[in-house]
């Protein structure tokens, strides 16, 4: 995977969620993704950025334009040094929530993207990496 461009955004308050998703939307549009894919990646980004604010309070989001095997796409990384999650299997399940939401943030986001990777360690933090490829 080759990184063509990248942009790092610090997330420290609720209003940054909009900033992050606007940047993701712009990047998806610039890449030439279809409107539906733009909407999906932007919505997933919104969910995951909100998770940072809700559970970790602060963190950062890295938006990268990538290329692999002739495919171009977006890779977005959400990194925080928050409380982390002990039970990722439960956390990925529909309806599981500790934050008072609908419990669709993680599982729902996963369904909107092509690749979804989550690493989390209690007391260390959580990193989520999503990828969406441009359809030909």
Partner 1 sequence: VVSIQEEMHDRLARTLQDELSERVYQTSAKGVLIDISTVQIVDAFIGRMIANIAGISGIMDARTVITGMQPAVAITLVEMGIVLPGVLTALNIEEGMQLLRDAPEQSS
CA-based end-to-end distance of the chain? 18
Strand extents, DSSP E, 34-124: 59-68, 71-80, 115-121
Site string for partner 1, 11-40 (x = CB under 8 A): ---xx-xx--xx--x---------xx-xxx
Half-sphere exposure of 22 (CA within 13 A, CB side): 6
Nearer to partner 1, 35 or 69 (CB): 35
How are beta strands 115-121 and 71-80 bridged, if at all?
Answer: unpaired
Residue from 87, 111, 115, 117 binding partner 1 (CB under 8 A)? 111
77 close to 129: Cβ distance less than 8 angstroms: yes
Site string for partner 1, 50-89 (x = CB under 8 A): x---------------------------------------
- Report the largest interatomic distance among the alpha carbons of the chain, rounded to a whole angstrom: 42
Residues making contact with partner 1 (CB under 8 A): 14-15, 17-18, 21-22, 25, 35-36, 38-40, 42-43, 46-47, 50, 94, 101-102, 104-105, 107-109, 111-112
């Amino acid at each position: 995977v080759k990184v063509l461009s990248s942009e790092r955004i610090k997330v420290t308050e609720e209003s940054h969620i909009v900033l992050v998703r606007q940047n993701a939307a712009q990047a998806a549009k610039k890449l030439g993704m279809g409107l539906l894919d733009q909407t999906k990646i932007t919505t997933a980004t919104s969910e995951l950025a909100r998770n940072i604010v809700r559970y970790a309070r602060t963190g950062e989001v890295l938006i990268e334009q990538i290329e692999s095997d002739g495919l171009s796409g977006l890779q977005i990384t959400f990194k925080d040094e928050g409380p982390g999650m002990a039970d990722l299997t439960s956390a990925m399940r529909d309806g599981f929530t500790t934050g008072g939401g609908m419990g669709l943030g993680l599982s729902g986001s996963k369904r909107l993207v092509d690749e979804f990777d989550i690493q989390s360690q209690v007391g260390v933090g959580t990193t989520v990496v999503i990828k969406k490829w441009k359809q030909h």
